[in-house]
Structure 1
């Protein structure tokens, strides 16, 4: 019998982690997310740290995300606004990702295209 402690909220997912890519065209950076984003947003954070006048985060390929995505985007939005830049989220959003924004009441805090 295994009596080792279990992490009750640790995902038991076998899904591949999110893929984060960035392209730059002129003054616009596009960061594209695909797959499942659970806990580890370090790839997104790294890409958001490279400033551009306009940053588009394409969420259309993201099939699942948790509050770590929302926290990262809210922090980025505050930084971008303070620096006079723009952060735009691109969809369409998968239902579970849309629900994350709707349930937290943060959907109106962002600009979506």
Structure 2
């Protein structure tokens, strides 16, 4: 996981690899740091995620409900897209293709 320097009030958190209950610590910390800072929008780059379970989805929902604008930079991998479809999360998240498209919103 990497966190890019803020540009124009946008914080980008890039997630790489698998995310489940046992591997969410760094993501939770990056989110806590972003929420503590005066960033305008949080972008989570989910395109490099190879696996995400309901624990990751719950963290994304918590972040969405924080009141801070959230954009997911995709595309979603097939497994994550299926998770979003089955849970109707695809109806509540803004997912765009790529970080630059997310920054532009």
TM range (shorter): 0.7 to 0.9
Q: Which residue of 1 aligns with 2:24?
A: 41
2:48 maps to which of 45, 61, 78:
61
Unpaired runs of 5+ residues, structure 1, are: 1-19
1:87 maps to which of 70, 84, 101:
70
Unpaired runs of 5+ residues, structure 2, are: 97-105
| Structure holding more helix per residue | 2
RMSD between superposed Cα atoms in Å: 1.0
Q: Which stretch of structure 1 is more off in the superposition, 90-99 or 43-52? A: 43-52
2:15 aligns to what SS in structure 1? Answer: strand
- TM-score in terms of structure 2 length: 0.80
User: Separation in 1 of the partners of 2:76 and 2:95?
Assistant: 10
* Structure 1 residue runs of 4 or more that deviate by more than 4 Å after TM superposition: none
